[in-house]
Structure 1
Amino acid sequence: MLEQVERKKRAIALSPERQKEAYYSSIKFANKRMPLQNPNVETKFEKYLANFSFRKQQSYDLHKKAAKHLPKIASILKSYGIPEDFKYIPLIESDMNPSITSHKGAGGYWQFMPATARLYGLKVGGGVDERKDLVKSTHAAARYLKSLYAQFSDWTLVAAAYNVGGGSLKATIRRQGTDDYYKLRLNRETGSYVYKLVSVKQVIENPNKHGYKRYAKLDDKFQNINEQNLL
């Protein structure tokens, strides 16, 4: 009888529903849990997560770029006290291509506008563009992120402000009467920004789960959580 009970418990623990529950409870941005119990948040997250899966990408480029650049970026951000999850911004902003320039003039790894780049210590002009220097631009980005945190005191809002601008986000918060990123009505790009960052984080940290078999490891972060919580 006891053996049957244990088998039943194990079957429940390994069910797809419980696997999903365990996985979703582990998903955080800057050490803050994503509110995936909210159906709207869950639906939106799953949409972007699917976009970054191997099935959709059919390429290992994302993981190759992450392996090459993210350790250096993470180390610099850590020296400023910036949460490690912000290392994924250059993957979202420029796909780690420093030569990309937006139609508005943002450029480099972190897609700085020229004026913002200069404000945070980068040389732009006269044949020099330090936005294309990974180390220098990451130091500038860290200083900028730190200044945004001084304004918002919330890392999720910092990510949104990095995309839309601090002044614009403050005006939206004031107008709508909430500072909850997941409740704010934002433009499409800013409203999807944190979802994209978290989705990239998940496929990089859990390659096996999202189809990147070549990068699969026994120490996938979710696999560890899954075994500890359910097995």
Structure 2
Amino acid sequence: MIKKRVLCCSVVLSVMILSKLYSTPNSTSKKDPIRKALLEQVEKQKKAIALSPEKQKEAYYRSVMFANKQVPLHNPSVERKFERYLANFSFRKQQTYDLHKKAAKHLPQIATILKSYGIPEDFKYVPLVESDMNPRITSHKGAGGYWQFMPATARLYGLKVNASVDERKDLIKSTHAAARYLKSLYKEFNDWTLVAAAYNVGGGSLKNTIRRQGTKDYYNLNLNKETGSYVYKLVSMKQVIENPYKHGYKRYAQVKDKYQHSNEANLL
């Protein structure tokens, strides 16, 4: 912050000196070395401020979206939560490329199916967060498969779940079922961020919470720990998959990240 203020002051001072020189007849020549040097210095300082870590962070955070809606990272509480989960998904914490390998293998198929139902592409990250793309995982409550469906919900949306077959473990069939479920939740909530929360906690439970607390803003709702962190996990997962270089996954940064400043190069 101190560095930023010093840079700003330097630019202001340089501009003041420069304007003084402009008003002096003997300094109006384009060949004036003092004027030229000051112009160059002002431009360098402007670029330094524009590309400072603080400015880069501000610009990056303005680009963070979920389901085509900006995440309110200007809110300090939202920013803190986002940074916590973003750090958890970074290469520094994971020390593995498994997330990106699974994403490269499965997400294109999932995205295509979701698109056919009109579901925002960002929901393709749900299976990575829910099951780590492992269909054999079953929760202590009985949720299973890629999308971690409860047996009753899975059957309701067209999947077979019985002693001999469990279609929750079929990526294509379970993704079609998930898309139908997400679409039904959107009819209830008319907000994709709330749809994500409802997918985690259940539509009825979320409706009761909204009614009690008098707000439909996910980021202002007082939710249980798992649901209160759910959207942050999805957003963080999206960031590390779409911006691998920025979050330490340099092996997957063969091209520019979706978000990258002009002074950030993927030097491989």
- On whether the aligned pair clears a TM of 0.5, the verdict is yes
Matched, 1:132 2:158: no
Letter matched to residue 202 of structure 1 = Q
Aligned identity (percent) is 82
CA drift of 1:14 comes to: 1.1
**What SS does the aligned partner of 1:221 have?**
coil
Match of 1:197 in 2: 234
- Work out the CA distance in 2 between the residues paired with 1:2 and 1:127: 77
Matched, 1:215 2:252: yes
Matched, 1:227 2:257: no
**What SS does the aligned partner of 2:218 have?**
coil
TM-score, normalised to structure 1, is 0.96
- Work out the CA distance in 2 between the residues paired with 1:186 and 1:137: 27
Per chain length, whose mean CA-contact separation is higher, i.e. which structure has more relative contact order (CA < 8 Å, sep 6+)? 1
Aligned counterpart in structure 1 of residue 54 of structure 2, from 17, 29, 32 = 17
- Work out the CA distance in 2 between the residues paired with 1:155 and 1:49: 21
Q: Which 4+ residue blocks in structure 1 deviate beyond 4 angstroms? A: none
Match of 1:102 in 2: 139
Q: Which runs of 5+ in 1 are unaligned?
A: none
Aligned counterpart in structure 2 of residue 163 of structure 1, from 183, 200, 203 = 200
- Work out the CA distance in 2 between the residues paired with 1:134 and 1:54: 26
Match of 2:10 in 1: none
CA drift of 1:94 comes to: 0.4
Matched, 1:153 2:207: no
Alignment length, in residue pairs? 226
Give per-residue Cα distances to partners, 1:171-208, cap 9 Å, x unaligned: 00000000000000000000000000000000000000
Matched, 1:44 2:77: no
Letter matched to residue 122 of structure 1 = L
**What SS does the aligned partner of 2:245 have?**
coil
Give per-residue Cα distances to partners, 1:6-27, cap 9 Å, x unaligned: 1111101110001101110000
Match of 1:32 in 2: 69
Aligned counterpart in structure 2 of residue 179 of structure 1, from 175, 195, 216 = 216
Give per-residue Cα distances to partners, 1:194-225, cap 9 Å, x unaligned: 000000000000000100010113321011xx
CA drift of 1:76 comes to: 0.3
Q: How does 1:74-85 map to 2 (within 5 A)?
A: 74-85=111-122
**What SS does the aligned partner of 2:195 have?**
helix
**What SS does the aligned partner of 1:125 have?**
coil
TM-score, normalised to structure 2, is 0.83
- Work out the CA distance in 1 between the residues paired with 2:255 and 2:103: 19
- Work out the CA distance in 2 between the residues paired with 1:151 and 1:222: 33
Q: Which runs of 5+ in 2 are unaligned?
A: 1-37, 264-268
- Work out the CA distance in 2 between the residues paired with 1:86 and 1:128: 26
CA drift of 1:5 comes to: 1.8
